[in-house]
Amino acid sequence: QVQLVESGGGVVQPGRSLRLSCAASGFTFNIYAMHWVRQAPGKGLEWVAVISFDGSNTYYADSVKGRFTVSRDNSKNTLYLQMNNLRREDTALYYCARASGYRPSYDYWGQGSLVTVSS
């Protein structure tokens, strides 16, 4: 069965970095675009980034552009989100989600990885 398992979250000080991982299994990882979507505590959903099936194209929300980098290793069936210069407003549960393309049609989601930015 399809599984997406995020890891790497934690508590980090403002200005520091963190890398999230999303391990995929149960499907052919290298034919799907993958997205990161976050949800601040008690708030709604916010799209963060997308990477194409082969990693050749990436797009970011304005709120993270220049600070976050999405990447993937198709040989390891793993998606990454490198988060630099973290801000308090980046505090959220970060989900990885599978999509057939860039549109927000997410048929599978991970359980989320909590990132807390606090001094």
**CB 58, min distance to another protein, A:** 11
73 lines the binding site for another protein (CB under 8 A): no
Quick one: which of 16, 87, 88, 103 contacts another protein (CB under 8 A)? Answer: 103
Residue with tokens 């929300």: 61
- Between strands 68-73 and 33-39, the pairing is unpaired
Q: How far is the CB of 19 from another protein (least distance, A)?
A: 21
- Is 66 a binding residue for another protein by CB under 8 A? The answer is no
Q: Which of 115, 106, 62, 70 has the alpha carbon at shortest distance from 88?
A: 115
Cβ neighbour number for residue 79 with a 10 Å cutoff: 29
Among 61, 69, 77, 116, binds another protein (CB under 8 A): 61
